[in-house]
Amino acid sequence: MFKKLFIIMLAVTSYALANGVAIVNGSTPQYLELINSHVQVSIENQVAITTATQTFANRLGGNTTFKYAFPLNEQASAISLRWQIHNNWYTASFSATPQDTSVTGGEGEEPAASLKNYLGATPLYFDISEVLGNDSLVTIELTYVEFLPYEFGVVDYTYPNDYQLIQSAAIDTQNFNLVINSDRNIDSLKLIDIDGATISNDGNTATMELQMLGSIADQNYNVQYSLALDELGLFGLSTFLADSLVPDSGSRGFFTFVAEPDPSESTSIINKVFTLIIDRSGSMGGTKIIQARNAASFIVEHLNEGDKFNIVDFSGDISSLQSTHVDYNTVNEGVALTYISNLVAGGMTNISGAFSEAIPQFSAASDTTANIIIFFTDGQATSGITSTSGILSHVRDLVNTSETNMMIFTFGIGSYANEQLLNQLATEHSGLAEFLGDNELEEKITNFYLLIQNPVLLNTQMSFSPDIVSDAYPSPLPNLYIGQQMIVAGRYSSADLLTINLSGDAFGQPITYSYDLNLADSSIEKYQFLPKIWAKKKIEHLMIEYYSYGESSTEALEIKEEIVLLSLQFGVITPFTSFSEDRPTTGIEEFDEAMNESIATTFTLLGNYPNPFNPSTTIKFNVANEATGLMRINIYSVSGKLVRVLFINVTGAGNYEVFWNGMDMNGKSVPSGTYIYILDINNTLLSGKMILLK
């Protein structure tokens, strides 16, 4: 029988936080001056959509070009970007090429340290080719979506507004507006460390408004709100799109739910077999090793009677407090605390060696205990097995040899932690991954230990009735602990009362929680972000699969193609895609060079004429083979609103034309502006831009 092995790897990544920056030269460094910042946040049951609008001025004494960069949180996904320059608005599209991350003035130059710290680990980059004249302005609007972190009823939202690493001058106007809609009662709402915000809260809707004039941007917007702890259960959102709005061939319905079962019926305490793996390599020097020692001491001091534990520490070499796990008691606690206090940082980083020492020790553990490894690390492997795929394979082999079910919880320390490794270890083994700043280690790890002391569901499974749900993620499901939530996104084929069963084990006993969710039967305007949430969840799932293969393998390339197509269809940035300036915002674009050639030989978009137009125009395209079928043309405003749907029957090779009279679906004339059209035939998607001038 397989035993349960929980591996909690604690690794930590810091995110420098600030507004977007307009980079003229990142090595000098030289930037445009930020003069206005407006942030609008809409939160629906912990899904936050942030629109950041910033105005920059060129006060450098001459014409210039620049690159926009934004310190995007790893958990957030950018969904739209547009900019205004020379009194014209332009909208970025999604491109099947990775981001261009160069920000320096010449080859071989490095970005300034302050800029690197400012942008953090996962910034967004976008090139703007227009030349900005001296004393001219540019306004950039970025929108991104994220699911907010939650612990024990407390939700945190952070907007990066600390701009001191980039600019010491005051900003003319700073506005921050936030609206929260929650099915669960909002007990409190506060803005941390900044005074002057106007706050209202009626229980299910809360607002926050803040305006600062002529002030230095020296504080992030850290918002914290608490939800009623007596309202645990399942809260769901759903929308059922019209056929014309579904960007792929999948089901029309999209849902996301948050589940937090009430654990009150489970009163026993599960016995644990615990190993702490502590990284003491050279990069852990200074405050990090001090915090690691403090966190490890806290965990040892809070083990329960009946637990067993051990300590493994590593740099290039591996050491162990004991050769196997020992009973938790006051004598062994004292020995462990002394051992921890003598740990000193120095040397290389042998992650595979640490696992080689720790995992086999669990071969003697009972399958009735929770077998846990906590792993503190802050860097890349530099000795032993050093490749990500090699370490992952090594851990799998160790687990199989030990006949243990492994649950991995990963935490990375600092900006050099191997995020791919830590994320994949957690996902493959039903765990959690978290990345922390250099000074967050002690607080985050001690809080996390308090969470895992009492599991609600282990080996979690999920089923739906009736059978109308497809593509539900994450898969496999994580375990549930007191004070944490499970977030699931999926698709459904028809509106119905959906019964969701969450089952698993807690304290050695089988437990099932059942919930009902009424699925929407029509498109819900305020939930139009749900397809993007679903696409993000599926992409995360596919990225785990991608990294399990060699990057040049057939399997990895096929998965990459699927990820890119999802990104372009649903408008979610991935490691393989980016915003592009040269096409309109459609969310659709040819997704690799081979596919482009294939499309070009079959269908060719000939544009529309006239363009600009008033009041009507004709969209033209060519079919180069004997393709047949009904083609749909969706026309959107630049804000993404569907304006009109046109159809034409394709009967083989030749040129085709589709006439648009400038009317919307209600027969009303549309206003002047830029419009996007997407042609869809036989699952081939082409897009173009047209301008109506009245």
CATH number of 603's domain = 2.60.40.4070
Indicate whether 566 and 440 sit together in one domain. no
pLDDT band for position 591 (50/70/90)?
very low
pLDDT band for position 449 (50/70/90)?
confident
Indicate whether 558 and 632 sit together in one domain. no
Region 407-412 average pLDDT: 77
pLDDT band for position 101 (50/70/90)?
confident
Q: What is the DSSP string of 381-404?
A: --SSS-SHHHHHHHHHHHHHHHTE
**679 belongs to a structural domain:** yes
Reduce the DSSP state of residue 668 to 3 states and report it. Answer: coil
**Average model confidence (pLDDT) for the chain?**
84
Indicate whether 566 and 607 sit together in one domain. no
Indicate whether 31 and 175 sit together in one domain. yes
For residue 612, say if its preceding peptide bond is cis, omega within 30 degrees of 0.
yes
The two tokens of residue 543 are 């990225």
Residues 661, 667: Cα–Cα separation, whole Å: 10
pLDDT at position 235 over 50:
yes
CA distance to 3, 305, 367, per residue, from 363 (Å): 9, 21, 10
Distance from first CA to last CA of the chain, Å, rounded?
74
**Between the CA atoms of 489, 494, 497 and 503, what dihedral angle is there, to the nearest 10 degrees?**
-40
**184 belongs to a structural domain:** yes
Tens digit of pLDDT for each residue in 189-216? 999 999 999 999 999 999 999 999 999 9
Region 457-463 average pLDDT: 87
- Other Cβ atoms less than 10 A from the Cβ of 457: the count is 24
Q: Which of 219, 244, 278 is the last residue of a domain?
A: 219
Indicate whether 104 and 159 sit together in one domain. yes
Q: Could you identify the residue written with the tokens 């001091």? A: 301
Reduce the DSSP state of residue 596 to 3 states and report it. Answer: helix
The reported pLDDT for the residue numbered 338 is 96
* pTM to 2 decimal places: 0.67
The reported pLDDT for the residue numbered 267 is 43
Residues 354, 279: Cα–Cα separation, whole Å: 9
Reduce the DSSP state of residue 356 to 3 states and report it. Answer: helix
Indicate whether 288 and 198 sit together in one domain. no
Reduce the DSSP state of residue 575 to 3 states and report it. Answer: coil
Region 296-319 average pLDDT: 90
Residues 550, 545: Cα–Cα separation, whole Å: 10
Residues 25, 34: Cα–Cα separation, whole Å: 15
Q: What is the DSSP string of 4-17?
A: EEEEEEEE------
Q: With pLDDT > 70 as the criterion, what percentage of the chain qualifies?
A: 88
User: 57-71, 508-522, 645-659: which has the highest mean pLDDT?
Assistant: 57-71
Q: Could you identify the residue written with the tokens 């699925």? A: 519
**Range with the poorest average pLDDT among 111-120, 365-374, 612-621:** 365-374
Indicate whether 271 and 173 sit together in one domain. no
Tens digit of pLDDT for each residue in 338-385? 999 999 999 999 999 999 999 999 888 876 677 888 888 887 899 999
The two tokens of residue 149 are 């972190």
pLDDT at position 647 over 80:
no
The reported pLDDT for the residue numbered 271 is 73
The reported pLDDT for the residue numbered 157 is 94
Q: Which of 426, 455, 484 is the last residue of a domain?
A: 455
Number of domains in the chain: 4
Find the domain containing 656 and state its range: 593-692
pLDDT at position 13 over 50:
no
**327 belongs to a structural domain:** yes
Indicate whether 574 and 615 sit together in one domain. no
CA distance to 120, 176, 381, per residue, from 418 (Å): 14, 34, 8
Q: Which residues contact 482 (CB under 8 A, 6 or more apart)?
A: 152, 263, 451, 453, 454, 455, 456
Region 636-643 average pLDDT: 70
Q: Which of 455, 485, 514 is the last residue of a domain?
A: 455
The two tokens of residue 80 are 């739209």
pLDDT at position 18 over 60:
no
Indicate whether 168 and 199 sit together in one domain. yes
**Range with the poorest average pLDDT among 2-16, 343-357, 548-562, 634-648:** 2-16
Q: Could you identify the residue written with the tokens 């105005």? A: 55
**212 belongs to a structural domain:** yes
Find the CATH number of the domain harbouring 112.
Answer: 2.60.40
The reported pLDDT for the residue numbered 539 is 93
**440 belongs to a structural domain:** yes
Distance of CA 87 to the CA centre of its chain: 33
Indicate whether 179 and 271 sit together in one domain. no
Indicate whether 550 and 607 sit together in one domain. no
Q: State the amino acid at position 303 in one-letter form.
A: L
Residues 221, 39: Cα–Cα separation, whole Å: 10
pLDDT at position 587 over 80:
no
The reported pLDDT for the residue numbered 270 is 62
Find the largest Cα–Cα distance for the chain.
86
Residues 392, 552: Cα–Cα separation, whole Å: 18
CA distance to 270, 424, 545, 587, 658, per residue, from 556 (Å): 40, 15, 8, 23, 39
**487 vs 375, higher pLDDT:** 487
Return the H-helix or E-strand segment holding 420.
Answer: helix 419-428
pLDDT at position 272 over 70:
yes
The reported pLDDT for the residue numbered 264 is 63
Indicate whether 566 and 613 sit together in one domain. no
- Across the chain, how many H-helices and E-strands are there? 10, 41
Cβ pair 342, 311 in contact under 8 A: no
**503 belongs to a structural domain:** no
**386 belongs to a structural domain:** yes
**600 belongs to a structural domain:** yes
